[in-house]
Structure 1
Amino acid sequence: MLDGGTIFAFIPVAIALVISPGPDSIYTLTRSVSDGRCAGVMAALGSSTGSIVHTTGAVLGLSAIFRTSALAFTIVKVIGAAYLLYLGIQMFRTPDEFEISPESASYTPMESFRSALLINVLNPKVAVFFLAFLPPFVQSDGNVSLQIFALGALFATLGFVYQGLIAVFSARARRAISERELVRTLLRMASGSVLIGFGVRLALEERTS
């Protein structure tokens, strides 16, 4: 298993990466403000579950396929980019996205979980990231697969804690935000634009060898 020195070296780097803005955290923020704390926390859980999926792929060697196969990488990239673009466009097409009422809740907690999971899993760059990021912290004299999975689980846990905090604090500001039509509109446009931007960026992303 991992020793204390490896864990202490891994955590600061992982935290720096976790708090970097990305589609996962933007989506968690959006669901928290739109549908409340529970939906936001479930979105955070969905993102972290996606990290576990990628970690499992790295352990099984599936991530290597995305690193070596241009076709596999491109197929998953296009699907992931299309999904982000779809979510962003839906923001623009749904003027009541951030209104608070039982009728206007656009996503249930389980739907939030599934969407966040898909955002994470359908990003092949994340798969390649886990394959490249985790091995340097692995000790060759131990069980490599177990160490990689432990590091991935730790990364996913840190991600859930961070996004969970985003969900809790943004949900607390939910009513203040939602009662102001201009703020709702600006937040909806900004969230949609960011998701579309990430979708375009992913679509134009080149595979690295």
Structure 2
Amino acid sequence: MFGIHDLALFIVSGLLLNIAPGPDSLLIMTRSATQGWRAGCTAALGIGAGTFVHIFAAALGLSAVLATSSAAFTVVKLAGAAYLVWVGIGMLRSRATDAPLEARADAPVLAYRRIFMQGFLTNALNPKVAIFFLAFVPQFIAPDAPNKALAFVVLGLIFNLNGMLWCNFLAVFTALASRRLRVGARVSTWLNRAIGGVFVALGVKLALSRQT
């Protein structure tokens, strides 16, 4: 159908790739641990929305431009790196409050709209995701597929659905684990700072990475 082959292998591979830790997972876990599962799921929805950008960009051939144009790749890469560093610095500057994490679950530090945009921009501004779609998805599209763009979109939607299932599970699991561990305000603040440092490191690594 649509010129797609080895669909089961694609689904399993996509799920494993989604489970692999990265900036998206770190953001979801941080928001869930410090603000509850709703905040984590909101970040996950933002990440899913960002993935749509890469799906349709790749289907339209824009990812090919990123793969072949070092200038375009550099511009998007630096924008994504700058945003990761900005988010990381914000986490590093976080301060503890007197109330424990459980009491602050209904009073999130960040508005859900801002959390959604964090997830969206963290994913949409990462050119590595665009290159990944260009390299991974075509392996499951037959050379004689009647409509390669449509096949690309279908596979991208399946991949994003897998990702949303995992990301929302991660958000709920992290929130529940945080409650059981009774993470206090100071601990959650240091968690924010630790992961903020990871985000800064990821941003620097992305800025220094080379086009492959």
Partners in 2 of 1:102 and 1:141 — Cα distance?
52
The equivalent residue for 1:197 is 201
Match of 2:63 in 1: 63
Q: CA contact under 8 A between 2:26 and 2:195: conserved in structure 1?
A: yes
TM (norm. structure 2) is 0.89
Q: CA RMSD in A?
A: 2.2
Matched length: 208
Report the 3-state secondary structure (helix = DSSP H, G, I; strand = E; otherwise coil) of the residue aligned with 1:18: helix
Aligned to 2:14: 14
Spell out structure 1 runs of 4+ moving beyond 6 A.
none
CA–CA distance in structure 1, aligned partners of residues 65 and 205 of structure 2: 21
Query: TM-score, normalization: structure 1?
Result: 0.90
Give per-residue Cα distances to partners, 1:94-141, cap 9 Å, x unaligned: 113884437962222222111101000101111111111110100233
Identity between Structure 1 and Structure 2 (%): 41
Are the counterparts in 1 of residues 3 and 151 from structure 2 also a CA contact under 8 Å?
no
- What residue identity is the alignment partner of 2:119? A
Farther off after superposition, 182-191 or 18-27: 182-191
1:86 aligned partner, one-letter code: W
1:42 has 2:46 as partner? no
Look up the SS of the partner of 2:6 in the other structure: helix
> Partner amino acid for 2:83?
Y
Match of 1:168 in 2: 172
Residue 173 of structure 1 aligns to a residue whose secondary structure is helix
- Say yes or no: does 1:155 pair with 2:148: no
DSSP 3-state at the match of 2:30: helix
Q: Which runs of 5+ in 1 are unaligned?
A: none
1:88 CA displacement = 0.8
Deviations 1:62-99 (A, max 9, x none): 11111111111111111111111111111111113884
Q: Which residue of 2 aligns with 1:145?
A: 149
In the TM superposition, 1:31-110 aligns within 5 A as 31-96=31-96, 99=101, 100-101=103-104, 105-110=108-113
Structure 2: 5+ residue stretches without partners: none
